[in-house]
Chains A and B, each alone.
Chain A
Amino acid sequence: MREQSKYLEGVDKKDLFASGHRACGGCGQALAARLVADAAGENTIACVATGCLEVFSAPYPDPSWRIPFLHSLFENAAAVASGVDAAYKALKKGPVNIIAQGGDGSTADIGFQSISGMFERGHNVLYVCYDNEAYMNTGVQRSSFTPYGARTSTTPTGNTTRKKNMPMLAADHGIPYVATATVDDFRDLQLKIRKALTIEGPKYIHILAPCPLGWGHPGDLTVEICRLAKDTGLFPIYEIIDGKVTNVRKIPVKVPVAEYLKPQGRFKHLFKRGVPSEEVDAIQEIANQNIERFNL
């Protein structure tokens, strides 16, 4: 009990993203969205893309949002948020936190152009990507964030490409703040949201949000899976402030990628009778490259 209260120390809990939504049990994205809303506070407008988040949190007539919520399409959350920002400037209203939010598909694929435009124009918008490494809302199809080797409904024998590096792409727009986070570390995630919201201009936060349904792991492992993603080096935690990578999270004890892969159904085919295939070595190599690149 004491351990748990320590874990929640400094964590904002305002229930601005109310429970009772329709996400699967253990949904990393639902947890993340709540942490984001509670960290941002009441003075916030959420511009959400179509995807699991919108569908499980915003059915008429009982949405979960207790902050203003705006949704229109799959690929335009960043542009809609740009419009809200422009309106606030033109009407001389605010200040207000404008947070565009979308899944990996809407962020890295179909909405990439609109995000790039929002960054490049310098809108005062925080973009939060909930990365669950596939198009979950439509039934777990591959996205450009699907990691190497993962099985999805459109990569039935395993994905053959590497994950697009969105935080770096965001940073290369010259925006002042980029960060990565996971849903196992509430405090770190909320700190980054709060910090981003103090900075004028476009910001990007990339949150790894495991999806028990699509990844094929029990819902109660969501938090543990995040820890393993970090400790293997597969999901590095860092900030990029004014173009410089800083505050890199050091891995306390490095974990082989097999431990991350094994509990997940999407990687099951990589272990024939428990024996890791070549793909597992390739994934280990990706982790090693991250460890070296970020000095994890």
Chain B
Amino acid sequence: MLKQIEGSYAVAHVVAQCRPNVISAYPITPQTHIVEGLADIVGAGQLDAEFVNVESEFSAASVVLGASAAGARAYTATSSQGVLLMSEVIYCIAGMRLPIVLTCANRAISAPLSIWNDQQDSMAVRDAGWIQLYAEDNQEASDLHIQAFKIAEQTFLPVMVCMDGFILTHAYEPVDLPEQKEVDDFLPTFKPRHIVDPRWPRGIGLFADPRFYMETRYILHRALEKSEETIKEVSSEFAKAFGRESGGFIKTYKLEEADVVVVSMGSVVGTIKDLIDQLEEEGKKVGLLQICSYRPFPRKEVYRALKDKMNIVVLEKCISLGRGGILASDVRWSFPRAEKKDRDISSFVAGLGGRNISIDDLRYMVEKVEKEPVEFEFLGLKTELIAERDM
């Protein structure tokens, strides 16, 4: 059923259709409408779940950890400072192999305080052992949640669905919302693996001395790598069941013929596609490689898509301060060392703290890399606000 709906409410609606047993969250802009939406649904008796209003994101993550360890399907959502406050628990959840689903309504990180969008928050926990999926629009954000529960419960890995704050969470777009029966048919009931239950007393969360710790990390790393198959499978099952493509590993747009390829993820790919169409009319061949699954990183797919491309530019809404582009280094790493092609991979950071990324900014970026590669640049920087003495 196509409905004109705010992104957050679409996600709330779909998450409720996934029938989580326990929801726990703490309010933070721009995540708030998602959990308010869920609270309404639970309050109206349309979803039989425990909604635990906690005193912090740290406890929200801990509540879903406990609930999942006790056999519940558990869900939480947060943003920005909330992700950082949760980070200790986020690592634990993955280490304990608890298939929790978390929505990250992407937002910048303090200081300075900013409630606006970028992707620094989810990036800050990219190494924690979670699957991270980035949504392009609200249709995909909704669809990814249905897939996320299935992927998590098949792999026993937690899944973070990342959607750009405000740009998606607060945007009204038509979204095709599924029927409850469709979701029920797609998503089987949760069958937990290890739970705390007096009938089978066991310990969860023991401590591991140096004889054992490394192997737990190896197993988690391999599990993430292996989740590639599940992510792809679930995405194609989804396409079959719901009649539309969503998620998966990567997506491309006008890539085959392209002389310049832009690599990016999240909602900005919409603007990039518009630019690609404009440039096509002007006779330029530019293509897009969109990363849907950032963790596990689609190294092979990226390589396959880009191996014959000599001019690549990575655009991202996050930065490793003191180092540069994060996604850019992942993309650079995707090419085998032995391959000695003289390939240009430029790196641009844009849209930090909600700075608008206009089509003109993107045009400037593409035209610049057409002339020469760019090691690293802040796109849309207001140099008039910067004094040498501040640095």
Report if A1 contacts B (CB, 8 A).
Answer: no
Number of interface residues of A (CB under 8 A): 44
Contact A90 B59 (CB under 8 A): no
Q: Which residues of B contact A45 (CB under 8 A)?
A: 70, 196-198
Contact A68 to B55, CB < 8 A, known contacts A45-B198, A80-B62: no
Report if A96 contacts B (CB, 8 A).
Answer: yes
Nearest chain-B residue to A69 (Cβ)? B203
Q: Which of B50, B196, B198, B209 is the one whose CB lies under 8 Å from A70?
A: B196
Contact B205 A114 (CB under 8 A): no
Distance (whole angstroms) from the CB of B381 to the closest CB of chain A: 39
Q: Determine the distance from Cα of A81 to Cα of B52 in the docked complex, in whole angstroms.
A: 12
Nearest chain-A residue to B53 (Cβ)? A121
Q: Determine the distance from Cα of A224 to Cα of B172 in the docked complex, in whole angstroms.
A: 70
Give the segment of B88-96, B129-137, B238-246, B372-380 that binds chain A.
B88-96
List 7 extra interface pairs beyond A73-B89, A87-B67, A88-B70, CB under 8 A. A72-B92, A81-B66, A82-B59, A84-B66, A86-B66, A87-B70, A116-B55
Q: Which residues of A contact B53 (CB under 8 A)?
A: 121
Q: Which residues of A contact B65 (CB under 8 A)?
A: 72, 76, 80, 83
Report if B302 contacts A (CB, 8 A).
Answer: no
The 9 closest A-B pairs by CB, nearest first: A83-B66, A79-B62, A87-B70, A80-B66, A87-B72, A71-B205, A117-B55, A76-B62, A90-B21
Q: Determine the distance from Cα of A262 to Cα of B78 in the docked complex, in whole angstroms.
A: 52
Report if B63 contacts A (CB, 8 A).
Answer: yes
Contact B92 A84 (CB under 8 A): no
Report if B208 contacts A (CB, 8 A).
Answer: yes
Contact A90 B201 (CB under 8 A): no
Contact A70 B62 (CB under 8 A): no
Report if B206 contacts A (CB, 8 A).
Answer: yes
Q: List residues of B (189-207) whose CB comes within 8 Å of A's CBs.
A: 196-198, 200-207
Report if B235 contacts A (CB, 8 A).
Answer: no
Report if B124 contacts A (CB, 8 A).
Answer: no
Contact A68 to B201, CB < 8 A, known contacts A60-B212, A84-B196, A90-B50: yes
Report if B122 contacts A (CB, 8 A).
Answer: no
Contact A82 to B72, CB < 8 A, known contacts A90-B49, A120-B55: no
Q: List residues of B (74-99) whose CB comes within 8 Å of A's CBs.
A: 74, 88-89, 92, 96
Q: Which residues of A contact B177 (CB under 8 A)?
A: none
Q: Which residues of A contact B69 (CB under 8 A)?
A: 70, 80, 83-84
Contact A76 B58 (CB under 8 A): yes
Indicate with 1 or 0, residue by residue over A82-103, a CB within 8 angstroms of chain B CB atoms.
Answer: 1111111111010010000000
Contact B70 A83 (CB under 8 A): yes
Report if B37 contacts A (CB, 8 A).
Answer: no
Report if A42 contacts B (CB, 8 A).
Answer: yes
Report if B64 contacts A (CB, 8 A).
Answer: yes
Report if A113 contacts B (CB, 8 A).
Answer: yes
Nearest chain-B residue to A116 (Cβ)? B55
Distance (whole angstroms) from the CB of B47 to the closest CB of chain A: 10
Q: Which residues of B contact A146 (CB under 8 A)?
A: none
Contact A54 to B207, CB < 8 A, known contacts A86-B63, A87-B70, A91-B71: yes
Contact B92 A73 (CB under 8 A): yes
Q: Determine the distance from Cα of A273 to Cα of B206 in the docked complex, in whole angstroms.
A: 46
Distance (whole angstroms) from the CB of A166 to the closest CB of chain B: 17
Nearest chain-A residue to B190 (Cβ)? A91
Using a CB–CB distance below 8 Å, which chain B residues touch chain A? 21-22, 24, 48-50, 52-56, 58-59, 62-72, 74, 88-89, 92, 96, 196-198, 200-209, 212
Q: List residues of A (41-84) whose CB comes within 8 Å of B's CBs.
A: 42-45, 47, 54-55, 58-61, 63, 65-73, 75-76, 79-84
Q: Determine the distance from Cα of A69 to Cα of B89 in the docked complex, in whole angstroms.
A: 17
Distance (whole angstroms) from the CB of B153 to the closest CB of chain A: 15
Contact B196 A59 (CB under 8 A): no
Q: Which residues of A contact B74 (CB under 8 A)?
A: 83, 87
Distance (whole angstroms) from the CB of A22 to the closest CB of chain B: 11
- 28 pairs, A vs B, C-beta closer than 8 Å: A45-B196, A47-B66, A58-B203, A58-B206, A59-B209, A60-B206, A60-B207, A61-B206, A68-B197, A69-B206, A70-B66, A70-B196, A76-B89, A79-B59, A82-B63, A83-B62, A83-B63, A83-B67, A83-B68, A84-B69, A86-B24, A86-B66, A87-B67, A87-B74, A90-B48, A113-B56, A114-B55, A121-B53
Q: List residues of A (159-196) whose CB comes within 8 Å of B's CBs.
A: none
Q: Which residues of A contact B62 (CB under 8 A)?
A: 72-73, 76, 79-80, 82-83, 114
Contact A87 B201 (CB under 8 A): no
Contact B68 A59 (CB under 8 A): no
Indicate with 1 or 0, residue by residue over A102-124, a CB within 8 angstroms of chain B CB atoms.
Answer: 00000000000110110011000
Distance (whole angstroms) from the CB of A131 to the closest CB of chain B: 22
Contact A67 B201 (CB under 8 A): yes
Distance (whole angstroms) from the CB of A202 to the closest CB of chain B: 14
Nearest chain-B residue to A125 (Cβ)? B66
Q: Determine the distance from Cα of A58 to Cα of B206 in the docked complex, in whole angstroms.
A: 5
Contact A91 to B197, CB < 8 A, known contacts A68-B202, A76-B89, A117-B59: no
Q: Which of B59, B202, B204 is the one whose CB lies under 8 Å from A71?
A: B204
Q: Which residues of A contact B48 (CB under 8 A)?
A: 90
Of listed B63, B71, B200, residue having the most chain A CB within 10 A:
B63
Nearest chain-A residue to B92 (Cβ)? A72
Nearest chain-B residue to A45 (Cβ)? B196
Q: Determine the distance from Cα of A55 to Cα of B66 in the docked complex, in whole angstroms.
A: 20
Q: Determine the distance from Cα of A68 to Cα of B71 in the docked complex, in whole angstroms.
A: 13
Distance (whole angstroms) from the CB of B58 to the closest CB of chain A: 7
Q: Which residues of A contact B206 (CB under 8 A)?
A: 58-61, 63, 69, 71
Q: Which residues of A contact B204 (CB under 8 A)?
A: 68-71
Distance (whole angstroms) from the CB of B318 to the closest CB of chain A: 26
Of listed B66, B196, B208, residue having the most chain A CB within 10 A:
B66
Distance (whole angstroms) from the CB of A204 to the closest CB of chain B: 17
Q: Which residues of B contact A79 (CB under 8 A)?
A: 54, 58-59, 62-63, 66
Distance (whole angstroms) from the CB of A126 to the closest CB of chain B: 15
